[in-house]
Amino acid sequence: MAARAAYRTVSESEKHWRPRRDFIFRNINDYEDPHLDHLLALSMVWANHVFLGCRYSEELLNKVKEMAEGIVVEDAPVFKTRDEIVKNQQKVGSAGILRAHAHTHSHTHSLTHSLTSLTHSLTHSLHSHTHSHTHSHTHSHSLTHSLTVLQKYFTVLILSPAVKQTLI
Q: Are residues 86 and 155 both part of a single domain?
A: yes
Number of domains in the chain: 2
The per-residue pLDDT of the chain, averaged, comes to: 75
Does residue 162 fall inside a structural domain? Answer: yes
From 26, 43, 67, give the residue that closes a domain. Answer: 67
**pLDDT computed for residue 139 by the predictor:** 53
Spatial separation of the C-alpha atoms in residues 156 and 167, rounded to whole Å = 14
Q: In this structure, are 119 and 52 located in the same domain?
A: no
42-56, 66-80, 82-96, 147-161: range with highest mean pLDDT? 42-56
53: containing domain = 2-67
**Residue 75 lies inside a defined structural domain of this protein:** no
Q: Is 74 among the domain residues?
A: no
What spatial distance separates the first Cα and last Cα of the chain, rounded to whole Å? 64
Q: Is 97 helix (H, G, I), strand (E, B) or coil?
A: helix
Residues 154 and 89 in one domain: yes
91-130, pLDDT tens digit by residue? 877 666 556 555 555 555 555 555 556 555 555 555 555 5
